[in-house]
């Protein structure tokens, strides 16, 4: 099953994607849907207003998660290109809902950064409230997967040992277009990013060091995971910062992020309009 949050003249709506048709499910977004008891059955049975998929305006698939947990250094290829040792435990950082944009929204490059980098990622969306769940049972807590690009301001990220400031510039993280239930996603699904048609990243999600169930178990030991919460599982090799010479996103480019069986995001890139700082 595929779910999405779309923008309509009456506000956002959660929809089920049936081929070329999007069927409204009732709640205003996928996050609200996931918080309802029996959401799978309700979404499957929904028979609301219909929209043509070709006309959809996608919002972030979960617009306002209570938390977004990012994972760094989690693909073996990316660990190698960054010259790091494989970590014993997941490397975690926080992101905030204000960073999210829709799958086809325009990315405005922050005026404060000259090093805006791409990071294709598999996003895990939680469907069941869990705390201290065992790894063997963690998969049951996953509602599904989505595509996410953890666009990173490298010059800000590496100002300090902590990465938060480089990962949280507002409206810089495309997320969507769909939430796809786990039964539809191959275990070795291809993941890639391309800039103006040039492939920058190409791997499979089987290269993950800590897989989605591992991450749900580990993070839920620290804090309760709620329906709609998001785990950005890390990026594969091929980021611009690790290239020689280094390469970063530029105005006028188009960033495409794809995960087999999950979806494809097309993100136009433009320069942000400069604003004056208050005195």
Last residue of a domain, one of 55, 77, 93: 55
pLDDT digits (tens, 9 = 90+) for 73-131: 898 888 888 887 888 999 999 999 999 999 999 999 999 999 999 999 999 999 999 99
**Do 138 and 11 share a structural domain?**
no
Distance, CA of 183 to chain centre: 19
Range of the domain at 254: 68-271
Distance, CA of 230 to chain centre: 8
Evaluate whether 143 touches 126 at the Cβ level (below 8 Å): yes
Residue 17 pLDDT > 80, yes or no?
yes
Is 63 inside a domain boundary?
no
**Do 235 and 134 share a structural domain?**
yes
Tokens at 119, concatenated: 């990071």
Distance separating alpha carbons of residues 254 and 256, to the nearest angstrom: 6
Tokens at 44, concatenated: 């499957």
N-term to C-term CA, the chain = 51
**Do 131 and 218 share a structural domain?**
yes
**Do 102 and 14 share a structural domain?**
no
Is 249 inside a domain boundary?
yes
β-strands 142-149, 254-259 pairing: unpaired
Is 278 inside a domain boundary?
no
The count of domains in the chain is 2
pLDDT digits (tens, 9 = 90+) for 118-172: 999 999 999 999 999 998 899 999 999 999 999 999 999 999 999 999 999 999 9
Prediction pTM value: 0.95
Residue with tokens 């188009």: 254
Is 276 inside a domain boundary?
no
**Do 218 and 93 share a structural domain?**
yes
Distance separating alpha carbons of residues 144 and 257, to the nearest angstrom: 18
Vertex 22 angle, CA 253 and 189, to 5° = 55
């Amino acid at each position: 099953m595929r779910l999405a949050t779309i923008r309509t003249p009456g506000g956002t709506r959660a929809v089920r994607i049936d081929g070329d048709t999007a069927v409204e499910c009732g709640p205003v977004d996928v996050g609200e849907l996931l918080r309802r008891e029996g959401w799978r059955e309700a979404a499957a049975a929904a028979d609301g207003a219909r929209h043509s998929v070709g006309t959809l305006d996608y919002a972030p698939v979960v617009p306002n998660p209570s938390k977004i947990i990012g994972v760094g250094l989690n693909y073996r290829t990316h660990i190698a290109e960054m010259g790091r040792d494989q970590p014993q435990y997941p490397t975690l950082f926080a992101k905030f809902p204000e960073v999210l944009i829709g799958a086809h929204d325009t990315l405005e490059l922050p005026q404060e950064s000259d090093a805006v980098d791409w990071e294709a990622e598999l996003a895990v969306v939680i469907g069941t409230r869990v705390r201290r769940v065992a790894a063997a049972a963690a998969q049951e807590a996953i509602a599904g997967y989505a595509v996410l690009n953890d666009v990173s301001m490298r010059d800000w990220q590496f100002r300090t040992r902590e990465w938060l400031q480089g990962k949280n510039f507002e409206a810089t993280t495309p997320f969507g277009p769909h939430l796809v239930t786990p039964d539809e996603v191959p275990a070795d699904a291809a993941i890639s990013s391309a800039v103006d048609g040039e492939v920058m990243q190409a791997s499979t999600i089987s290269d993950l060091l800590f897989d989605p169930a591992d991450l749900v178990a580990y993070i839920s030991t620290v804090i309760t995971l709620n329906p709609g919460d998001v785990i950005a599982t890390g990026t594969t090799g091929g980021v611009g910062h690790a290239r020689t010479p280094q390469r970063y996103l530029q105005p006028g480019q188009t960033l495409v992020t794809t995960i087999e069986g999950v979806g494809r995001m097309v993100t136009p890139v433009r320069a942000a309009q400069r604003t004056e700082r208050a005195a």
